[in-house]
A and B are shown apart, each in its own frame.
Chain A
Amino acid sequence: MSLAVEVRDLTVRYGRTTAVDRVSFDLQPGVIYGLLGRNGTGKTSLLSTIAAFQRASGGTIRVDGEDPYENARVMASTCLIREGGDFLDEKTKDVLRYAAAVRPGWDADLAARLVDLFELPMTKKPTQLSRGKRSALGVVVGLASRAPLTMFDEAYLGLDAPSRYAFYDALLEDYAEHPRTIVLSSHLIEEVERLFERVIILDAGRVLVDEEAEALRSRGTTVTGPAAAVDELTAPWRVVARKALGPTVQAIVVEELPADARARAAAAGVELGSVPLQDLFVHLTSPQGTP
């Protein structure tokens, strides 16, 4: 079971601050999305509004065709895990029991396996847990809920590296068996980029990029070689960064390269290379990077 989401002209304001500014996009059912954006670009406001934790200031959200706000059916199918967890201050076993009661898709076996995996103490309250274990509790609830729309808002950043990798593996394994719509927001782009099928990048409350991860990655290219040759080759393209190392220049272009680009580059003694998604993100969202 997977849910589709339709966001149209969504605006979220706090007093005079506009956190989300007329944002429109769709989430296709059964796809893993990466939601990327610098701090304060509205990721948390956006996800919290989709999950009906708060009300939109303007625009519309449709989850499975319905407005999620105060909508019991849609809310039972939507699970947003935020950093910190938003949990009742009860023992882990009671937090899990409560989640099991409100989540129609709850998988108790999966929950038990994840509790073991993350060595989560069952008789401690969230406030007594370390940041890492509190994150782990969020991950357990988020995965075992098996909600048709599951969103993790940097919820796993408190985990140490081995636990994060265990989370990625558990997520992929369970997603493969039980496909659902998943949104992951993260700062650790390098670690998670291969998990995404599509990527949405927010910048200053607006959607900057909404595209297939592979396609986005293929648009970024490094062009390295003698300065004159690089500059001539890249002249018609969108160059987001350029640095010189002596007589050699490396430019980063974000562009669907023409079919003959590789041959022309080779003839000019210029090398083309790939740009990691994280670097592409940095260039696309840095103030001087985008026109």
Chain B
Amino acid sequence: MRLVPHPFLARRGTLLAAVLLLAACKGSGSSDLADSDDPGDVPDPVVLNGPETVYGLPNLDNLADDWTKQDYDDDELVPFEIVPSAVAPASFRLTLSGTEQSARIWHDGEIVATGGTPEVELDGGTEPLELRVEFKDFDTDAVLEVEELDENGDVLQSIEVALRASPLFLNHHLQPAELIIATEVSVYGFDNDAMVEGYANAIGERFESANGNRYFQDPWMQDELEFGYGVLPDGQALDLVIDSIRDRGLDDYPEDVWAGEGFGVKTWGRGYASSQDSFGNLEVSPPVDDFPFGRIYYGAGRGYAPQATKLFDVLEENRIQEPFQVDISWLCVGHVDEFMTFVPDSTAPRGFRFVINDVDAAYEVLDAMDPATPLPRYAGRQNHNYDTVGELVDDNGLRVHNEDVQLDHLDPIREQMIAELGLLDEEVVLLPGLFEEIGYCGNTNAALIPGMANLIVADFGEGTNLFIADPFLRSNLNDQSSDPMIQAVQDALPAEAELHFLDDWDVYHLGLGEVHCGSNVLRTPSPTDWWTNDLGGSK
């Protein structure tokens, strides 16, 4: 078997070629097959030969129209050859199995075998049989049996070729960033200009905004779409936007902006969406033991669950990033990104830290502040109605409520994350966070201090950038250096990261979201090997 890994990732409309792994055939009609495991082997001319496995990417780009159009020259059709034995058979019989309608075989410009018509006979001869395989979806696992037949229809030799589409992977925070996106909104006298400018100033053209007027002023860019990908052994990849069934103002955005050649957009499920169908509630850990692509985690709880069961069925079946649930029933919005995340840190044992909100860490900062410190951003009925630090720290009702949040929710979730992911104590960072009850939300909770764990991670190859909600725990709103909460966060997060504290107050914080909720990141697919031991769910 030979495999020459491609060092570069070809993306967005490039040829999605197969990896033809010419190897020992798993023939059933002959016992004298050549052993072609030796490096440099050429196919044994005596026996029927073909690749052991053909890898491909699902033909989901262009809104999956290409599958319907049936174009023989489409990039996603993966060519491979069957080399006949020296016998020169009268015909070949192809039999496709292991798939319903998710793979099909092409020959000479025509579809010759599908899940519905799995068997076909083609003319034999001495020339290699040129075939192509096309996959409809991720993680497709099929087998093509190729038989050489004589003039009487008797089988001379046969081989099996495994047909394998890349599993679907969701991005994690250690993958390089390529682009950050957010909606530019202005609604009822409030706008997110400060956050948009903060991004643009920090990363320039690597930030793009969507027009809020076009998308009904929907600011929750994280929630409508989830970036994922498929990748092949040669490094070629298909980007994918999973389009949530949430379908609020940004509903058309994935199709408008991302669908195209080499870029797929797909929705699993339909109908009523709960808040848990938003993709701020669908996150992935960095690689951990036994999970080289990380693990998916999402929020659910009694009475709180994603309704897009098809999507979550797919994710559950795709054990490569084996998902687990976290209780979010104590939150108004109910998304896992509201209180925890992962950030890169080259000084950490495995290159990352797990960050989770902590009430004691917040009070440690607040209690040390001068109680007379004015808090102009928190003052007033439209905000949180705390004029000074003293009012905040002396609010015993708030304090005992947060103690309960810590004991009842944050502590158990931290322990669960440690257990599920095998985290080390030194990998855990406690980030200050306070919560308050939301009366119009069944007395569940949302961040009182802007949720700073609700952050964006982006490394464009020049080091880690963390985009974090500005906590505004200071009197001079224009002087972040005077903010002790910012200082505490800087001390807690990796020193190598560049921290950008963005003003997300009016549009996001008061709408019960923060920076991560209002942004999304396109990342470079991970070239990590999933194929050698086929980590896919169907194996």
- Report whether chain A binds chain B: no
Tell me the B residues contacting A by CB distance below 8 Å.
none
Tell me the A residues contacting B by CB distance below 8 Å.
none
